[in-house]
Amino acid sequence: MSAASAPAPAEPRLPPVTEIGMTSLALIVAGGIYLSAHLPRHVPLAPAIVLLLLSALLLAANLFALSRARGFNWSRFREVAGWAMLAYAVTAGMIEYAFVRDHLHGGALVVLTLSLVVYAVHVPVLIAFTVARYDPSGAEG
């Protein structure tokens, strides 16, 4: 590839979606490791709940910050996010199936299920954001 290709259009200023998303994913992974490292002992759920809440807050903050971005290609974002969400819903469903199959129940199941929801939303958001940020052709004001 050379500089003879298409000139780079000015990119809109966008929030640090990838960095926030990585932090959010790291938090739910940490919560999952915390819970699974203590099986089958009863373990206080509070640390895992705090990690999950922080992760969910970062997801919400990410979506809010992105919604206020100007000049972002939302049509491309929605297209990619939709398909990616379908794919990650399948993988999250498989993991959830394993949890239920292992008779996981109560608070631990709720925390892990909600963690999977954050995972199945945030990863597609990261994929769609990365694609859409470099595709200004359909940018919306």
Partner 1 sequence: MSSVSAVTGSAPAHEPGPAAPPGRLEFDIVPRRGLIGVAVVFIAAIVAIAVNAVWPLMFLHVAFGAAWTIIDLFLGFVLGPILGRLSIPARIELTTRLMPKMVVIMPAVVTVTLAAGWQLGVRTGTVLTSYPQHGWVVASFIVVGVMGVIALGLLEPANIAVLVELKKPRPRPDVIERLMKRFIYCAGITGAMQIATLVIMSKLASS
Based on the shown chain and the rule CB under 8 A, indicate whether residue 75 belongs to the binding site for partner 1.
Answer: no
Based on the shown chain and the rule CB under 8 A, indicate whether residue 10 belongs to the binding site for partner 1.
Answer: no
* Cα separations in angstroms, 81 against 29, 99, 100, 131: 21, 26, 27, 10
| Minimum distance, C-beta of residue 41 to partner 1, in the bound complex (Å) | 6
Check if the beta carbon of residue 15 is closer than 8 Å to that of residue 65. Answer: yes
Check if the beta carbon of residue 31 is closer than 8 Å to that of residue 94. Answer: no
Based on the shown chain and the rule CB under 8 A, indicate whether residue 97 belongs to the binding site for partner 1.
Answer: yes
List the one residue from 60, 67, 90, 140 that touches partner 1 (CB under 8 A).
Answer: 90
List the one residue from 50, 57, 91, 105 that touches partner 1 (CB under 8 A).
Answer: 91
Exposure string of 9-33, with b = 16+ CB inside 10 Å and e = fewer, is eeeeebbebeebbeebbebbebbbe
Based on the shown chain and the rule CB under 8 A, indicate whether residue 94 belongs to the binding site for partner 1.
Answer: yes
Q: Which two tokens stand for residue 85?
A: 């969400």
DSSP state for residue 138 in the 8-state scheme: G
List the one residue from 14, 29, 69, 89 that touches partner 1 (CB under 8 A).
Answer: 29
3-class SS of residue 140? strand
Q: Which two tokens stand for residue 141?
A: 């004001």
From 1-9, 44-52, 54-62, 64-72, span contacting partner 1 (CB under 8 A)? 1-9
**Which of residues 13 and 41 has its CB atom nearest to partner 1 in the complex?**
41
**Angle, nearest 10°, between helix axes 106-133 and 74-101?**
160
User: Residues in the site for partner 1, rule: CB under 8 A?
Assistant: 1-8, 18, 21-22, 25-26, 29-30, 32-33, 36-41, 80, 83-84, 87, 90-91, 94-95, 97-98, 101-102, 119, 123, 126-127, 129-131, 134-135
